[in-house]
Amino acid sequence: MKHIRILGVALCVAGLLACIPLVTKSEYLVTQMIMLFIYVSVSQSWNLLGGYTGQISLGHAALFGVGVLVTRMLWVASTPIPVASLSGGIASMLLAGVVGIPCLRMKKGYFPIGTLALAIIAQITVGNVLPLPTYLPSEHMKEYTLSSRYYLALCVAIINILIVYYTVRSRTGLALVAVRDDQGAAEAMGVKILRYKILALLTSGFLAGLAGSVYAFHQVSFYYQSAFELSWSFLPTLTTFIGGVGTIVGPTIGSVFFLVLNELFALTLGEIHLIIFGFTFVLIILFAPGGLMSLGRWIQIPVIVKAITGRR
């Protein structure tokens, strides 16, 4: 019953969001919402691996970028976007498995370093192999609409949230949290630590690839290297910690916070906004280590959420 209520709330929110392109003519607003959905999607993918499993990944730029690369190439070659998007997710999952599984066998402190190396190598390689920008062919430009990009981004964000939600609330989710909290105790209780780490890694890679597919579908022209920039590794880490690591709602709140402040500071402060935003992030970590979700104890967010979902 609880899951049905939550699904109902999710459908209501999705329905309201789906109305935005119908009630506004502002291309700026629609574009910002698309970017928000991308941030939410990639943050949820990171949260499953880093927040719930305790494996801090700095290689999500490579997973996101592969999703962009594969989706873009297939879509430009006249592959339907749903198929191209799914292929991008699968390609990212395969990359996560091929490169990430050996990293998981390292000691915990080396996993972030190994994934960061993956992101750097991928960025350099793509920049050298594909140095020219990609443009949409004329036949694709004729059919280009922001609304179709908006609805794909919304669907991917909902899919990512639901996959993470139902994963962490299953027996698999209990095992992932056990691995995060105490690997020794989890292993002593019979939890196959490596198996669940690999499962979280593959799922996270797939979700990151789906997020990348939205970016590939949305951009008219871009350099492939830009999809592999390290900012796509640090952004989901940042937004997840800001909102609340190891929570479902946290990455979404963090993504909204990041997007709003980033736009506000960029318009009013110029390049110095990066310093201001970094300082703001440090303050949140110092005074609200649980993220913005922890502030709900004072502003009654948990009470509101419980009232909406019917939780006791």
CA separation for the pair 275, 284 (Å, rounded) = 14
Q: What is the dihedral of CA 284, 285, 288, 291, to 10 degrees?
A: 90
pLDDT value at residue 299: 46
Confirm if 244 and 254 have CB atoms less than 8 A apart.
yes
Q: Where are the domains of the chain?
A: 2-309
Side-chain-side CA neighbours of residue 58 (13 Å): 12
Q: Which long-range contacts (CB under 8 A, 24 or more apart) does 301-307 make?
A: 305/249
Q: What is the pLDDT of residues 182-204, one digit of tens each?
A: 888 888 888 899 899 999 999 99
pLDDT value at residue 28: 92
pLDDT value at residue 311: 45
pLDDT value at residue 108: 64
> Residue 278 burial by CB count (10 A; 0-12/13-18/19+): exposed, middle or buried?
exposed
Q: How far is CA 281 from CA 126, 188, 233, 276, in A?
A: 31, 37, 16, 9
C-alpha closest to that of 163 among 281, 264, 47, 61: 47
pLDDT value at residue 312: 45
CA separation for the pair 110, 259 (Å, rounded) = 31
Q: What backbone phi and psi angles, to 5 degrees, belong to 130?
A: -125, 70
- Sequence length of the chain is 312
pLDDT value at residue 287: 75
Query: In one letter, which amino acid is 170?
Result: S
pLDDT value at residue 273: 62
pLDDT value at residue 269: 66
Q: What is the pLDDT along the chain (312 residues), one digit of tens a residue?
A: 666 776 777 788 888 999 999 998 899 999 999 999 999 999 999 999 999 999 999 999 999 999 999 999 999 998 999 999 999 999 999 999 998 888 888 766 788 888 999 999 999 999 999 999 999 988 889 889 999 999 999 999 999 999 999 999 999 999 999 999 988 888 888 889 989 999 999 999 999 999 999 999 999 999 999 999 999 998 999 899 889 888 999 999 999 988 988 887 766 766 666 677 677 777 777 777 777 777 655 444 444 444 444 444
The alpha helices in the chain, defined as continuous H runs, are 2-18, 20-23, 27-46, 60-76, 81-95, 101-104, 111-129, 138-142, 146-168, 171-181, 183-188, 193-218, 231-243, 250-269, 273-287, 296-299, 301-309
Percent pLDDT > 70 in the chain is 88
pLDDT value at residue 184: 86
CATH of 2-309, picked from 1.10.10, 3.40.50, 1.10.3470, 1.25.40, is: 1.10.3470
pLDDT value at residue 284: 75
Q: How many other C-beta atoms lie within 10 A of the C-beta of residue 190? A: 7
